[in-house]
Amino acid sequence: MPKPSKRISGIIPSGKDGWEVHFAAMTRSQAGEDIVMLSVGDHDFDTPTETVEACVTALRAGHHHYTQLAGLPALREAMARISTLCTGVPTRPDEVIATPGGQSALYAAVQGVIDSGDHAIVVAPYYATYPGTFRAAEAGFTVVEARPEDGFQPDAAAIEKAVQPNTRAILLNTPNNPTGAVYTRQSLEGIADVCRRHDLWLLSDEVYWTLGGGEHVSPRSLPGMAERTLVINSMSKSHGMTGWRLGWLTGPAEFIALLVSLNLVNTYGLNDFISRAAIEALNGDFGVKEIAGLYAARRAVFLDAVRGMNDVTVRGSDGGMYVMLDISAVEPDDEKFAWAFLDTEKVAVMPGSSFGEAAAGHIRISLCQPEDVLREAANRLRRFASTYRSKAA
């Protein structure tokens, strides 16, 4: 065949990464092996019934046609209401564009602020798609690691050192995937100061904002930041709708208007019947409190179960759907640890280094399992760590 473009060939470089542990575990599970899957952030429960029924009703009512490129007006109104709650900044519908999932919102944000050859800064640990999204824009980027000993709070001074003449944006995620860290107001104020002084965009991924363990602070709410902050949001986690692919981007109205052209050549709008179900889910807050309470309870159960475990330290883990454990005192190579844990105890976890060097020596635990399963996984981890140490001695 003719040669493909460098643009798509370079999005995901070849080579190993810790996702191989998850894929191997999934293959073994599908083959019938009893594997405890704690490696992926997909709910173990279905979308709330009210949302499903709203979708069925819209489908049967004939809502099968094209929608406005920026999203149905009622959908943008509902998303603007949630953005007001999320960011603490009054938000109008024309400051919101609907996208097929949070990843599409992130893609739109990066395409909207980065030209080929520009530079960005990514705060790590980071969600796995961040580097590839910048590569898709033919941009360079520098990863600035938040330190485990600081609870994975970002360091504004370290971020500023990474600023280059062609830097256009900083990307961060709070509550954080994979660490569960909830960035403090002080941390975000430092980063906002860097953005204002260097005239940078701030891309703020806040898809876990309803699952925080404390105060959620959106950098959009800080002085002088509404004009330079783009907030990525999604219904996947907050409303239990991972497979529905519904997200949105919030930003200055003039910028959002430009992104309508991107939807013209990319998505050409969202599904009508799914959009109408989303309107009902957003306006009715279907499942939001229940899902938040569920993950708060699961986090407490798992953290209680690992409390006092020798040579295993909890880092971050204040919010979101994950717990991050420092296992470097047991085995510095987190990927080696994850493979051995899978083979010995039939538990699948993600090696921390899959999300950046800052998380090396850690494992990420997904809380997308019932409490009894999480307790059992913690017991297996305790046994495995003890046995591993005695074998290594």
The pLDDT, as a whole number, for residue 3 is 87
Choose the weakest-confidence range: 214-218, 272-276, 291-295: 214-218
- For 6-46+288-383, CATH gives 3.90.1150.10
Distance CA 249, CA 232 (A): 5
pLDDT of residue 388: 87
- How many CA atoms are closer than 13 Å to the CA of 71, on its beta-carbon side? 32
Mean pLDDT of 150-158: 96
The pLDDT of residue 97 is 98
Mean per-residue pLDDT for 329-356?
A: 94
Residues 3-39 have pLDDT tens digits of: 898 888 888 775 555 678 999 999 999 999 999 999 9
As a whole number, mean pLDDT of residues 286-299 equals 97
Residues found in the chain: 393
Q: How many CB atoms lie within 10 A of CB 193?
A: 16
pTM for the full predicted model:
0.94
In the chain, what percentage of residues exceed pLDDT 70?
Answer: 97
Domain extents in the chain: 6-46+288-383, 65-284
pLDDT at 332: 95
User: Average of pLDDT values for 345-363?
Assistant: 93
Q: How far is CA 308 from CA 68, 313, 385, in A?
A: 55, 9, 12
Q: Given this chain, do its domains 6-46+288-383 and 65-284 carry the same CATH topology?
A: no
Question: Whole-angstrom Cα distance, residue 220 to residue 202?
Answer: 9
pLDDT digits (tens, 9 = 90+) for 369-378: 999 999 999 9
pLDDT at 349: 96
Residue 108 in this model has a pLDDT that exceeds 90: yes
Contact between 356 and 326 (Cβ < 8 Å): no
Average pLDDT over residues 278-301: 97
Longest dimension (CA), the chain: 68
Could you give the C-alpha distances from 165 to 118, 162, 200, 210, 269, in angstroms and in order? 9, 10, 11, 36, 36
pLDDT at position 390 over 90 = no
The candidate with the shortest Cα–Cα distance to 97, out of 281, 239, 247, 236, is 247
Structure tokens of 37? 């899957």
DSSP class of residue 44 equals S
H-helix or E-strand containing 343? Answer: helix 334-345
Give the pair of three-digit tokens for residue 56: 């069925």
Fill in the amino acid letter for 236.
S
CATH topology of domain 65-284: Aspartate Aminotransferase; domain 2 (3.40.640)
Check residue 11 and give its pLDDT. 86
What is the share, in percent, of the chain residues with pLDDT greater than 90?
A: 88
* Range 321-339 average pLDDT: 95
Q: Is pLDDT larger for residue 389 or for residue 355?
A: 355
End-to-end Cα spacing for the chain: 55
pLDDT at 18: 63
Range 189-213 average pLDDT: 96
